[in-house]
Amino acid sequence: MYQFHKLESMFSVDYLVNASSYHLTREFTGMSETHDFWELVYCDKGEAVVEAGGDKFLLKAGEMVFHCPGERHDVYSHEDRNADIIILAFTCNSPIMSEFNKKTLFLGPREKACLTSIVEEAASSYEYFDNDPPYVQLIKKESCPFCSEQIIKDQLQMLLIYIARKERYTDTVIRELSSNNMRQHEYLVEEAKKYIKDHLNEKLTLEKVSNALGISVSLLKHIFHEHSSESVISYVTRLRIAEAKRMIRTHNLNFTQIAEALGYDNIHYFSSQFKKQTGMTPTEYSRSVHS
């Protein structure tokens, strides 16, 4: 009547080496190290510079980087600014771990919840956090909460599962580590802005812009916000309304013609966007400049 199904485990974390949060001051210069276990570095606040395998790159808040066993790496604050990071170090012999080698990714709410749970549980479970990387020694407290280490293990394995699922099944942006990565992103953003300016009179979509650049929509959205501090849509709207103001001042066109010339299908939507940007309707703006 009953069939026993053996549960499959894709990730198995055997040993915990570190689960600590650190505040990197501007005076901290880092300390290069290499070891025979995996390490995850998550930037919680500020910006950190990570060196790994001969490459140097910027780790922004909300991003995590993997260091595989045997990889020499270092981390320190960026441009004399303070940064808060979380470091998880552990052993895991799962073959899937190799897919995380030299990868940077952005943590969503579920992954962040796992990360927070791990650090909080570890802080209440272990007597000694050196808080001076890379020297860490975990000594279990006598008052260690019941099953705390199982919670840490389960949460860490869940974190790895969520990350693997994102990489395999969703359009999550994962950047390979490269010393030219930041310059490449800046170049792509400038190309995106140029394309938008050249096609401002067309119906622009994220898909259209990303296809013109040969990148994914998710990468376009991330790098544009990263280097422009605004979304692609906000940038397009800002440029269109600025052009609409110029056309109202210098052209003898009605508002419907201006809206159509700027890629708007609906005059009412154009008017609402104009008022949101300027605080005035197109009619009110026209009166103010022609009075």
For residue 39, what are the contacts with CB-CB under 8 A and spacing of at least 6? Answer: 17, 18, 66, 67, 73, 87, 88, 89
Q: Do residues 125 and 152 lie in contact, with contact meaning Cβ atoms separated by under 8 Å?
A: yes
Q: Contact, 241 vs 255, CB < 8 A? A: no
Q: Tell me the C-alpha distance between 193 and 73, whole Å.
A: 35
Q: Are 111 and 26 in contact (CB under 8 A)?
A: no
Q: What pLDDT score does 139 carry?
A: 85
pLDDT on residue 211: 85
Q: What is the pLDDT of residue 31?
A: 74
Is 196 in contact with 209 (CB distance < 8 Å)? yes
pLDDT for the residue 191: 87
Quote the pLDDT of residue 238. 92
Residue ranges and CATH numbers for the domains of the chain are 13-176 (2.60.120.280), 181-291 (1.10.10.60)
**Would you state the pLDDT for residue 54?**
78
User: What per-residue confidence (pLDDT) applies to 213?
Assistant: 80
- Looking at residue 132, its pLDDT comes to 53
Q: What is the DSSP letter of 250?
A: H
Q: According to the model, what pLDDT value does residue 1 have?
A: 84
Q: Has this prediction a pTM greater than 0.85?
A: no
The reply to whether omega before 133 is within 30° of 0 (cis) is: no
Q: Print pLDDT tens along the chain (291 aa).
A: 899 999 999 999 999 999 988 888 877 777 788 999 999 999 988 888 888 877 888 888 888 999 999 999 999 887 667 889 999 999 999 999 998 887 888 787 889 999 999 999 999 999 865 555 545 678 899 999 999 999 999 999 999 999 998 777 655 556 566 555 666 678 788 889 999 999 988 888 999 998 888 778 888 888 888 888 789 999 999 999 999 999 998 878 899 999 999 988 889 999 999 999 999 999 999 888 876
DSSP character string of 16-64: EEEEEEEEE-TT-----B--SSEEEEEEEESEEEEEETTEEEEEETTEE
Q: What is the pLDDT of residue 5?
A: 92
**Pick from 152, 122, 157, 154: nearest CA to 140:** 122
d(CA 277, CA 249): 17
